Amino acid sequence: MLAKSLKIPAAQLHRVSFLLEGTKMRSIIRSRRRRGTVLWALALLCLNSSAPASAGVFQQCGKASWYKLGGVTASGERADPSGLTAAHRTLPFGTLVKVTNLANGKVVTVRINDRGPYSKGRVIDVTRAAAKELGFIRKGVTRVQVAGTTLPSRKHHGQNCQ
């Protein structure tokens, strides 16, 4: 049988057959003319789904600023200046990142929900609440390290912070 020649684990074949129960695919598989093609497709599906998607580590250093939110963010949610959220140019919305103030060592975890910053040299804009926890409201701008995890398809360049 094709499954044996491809060395597909029985548990995966059982999972696929369970998913196909009660569908039209079940009758297609029983058709002798299409059986080979369908089994090849299922084999590829099983082989691809068995590899776990691992997230990559993301680290970026640079300047951070804080900004007053008003209206709606780029993600479409209502802006909340008292929330621990941030704007980043490329990270997907909903990504949780740890922001470390390199001047005093304070750390806060924020959720990306907006796009920016658009000033040269800045890597992240945080809300006033996050800036308060990081201790740079009066200063306005500080050097930070932004760290988290990203999807493997995203390309982000890591940097060493000093």
The per-residue pLDDT for 38 is 54
Which among 101, 66, 72 is positioned nearest to 84, based on CA atoms? 66
Please state which architecture CATH assigns to domain 56-150: Beta Barrel (2.40)
The per-residue pLDDT for 35 is 53
* Beta-carbon contacts of residue 79 (< 8 Å; ≥ 6 apart): 69, 70, 71, 72, 73, 114
Give the pLDDT confidence of 59-100 residue by residue, as tens digits. Answer: 999 999 998 878 899 999 998 989 999 999 999 999 999 999
Q: Which residue has the tokens 């080979």?
A: 36
| Structural domain boundaries in the chain | 2-50, 56-150
d(CA 40, CA 27): 16
Please check the confidence at residue 15 and state whether its pLDDT lies above 80: no
Query: Which value, to the nearest 10 degrees, does the dihedral of the CA atoms of residues 81, 139, 107, 112 take?
Result: 40
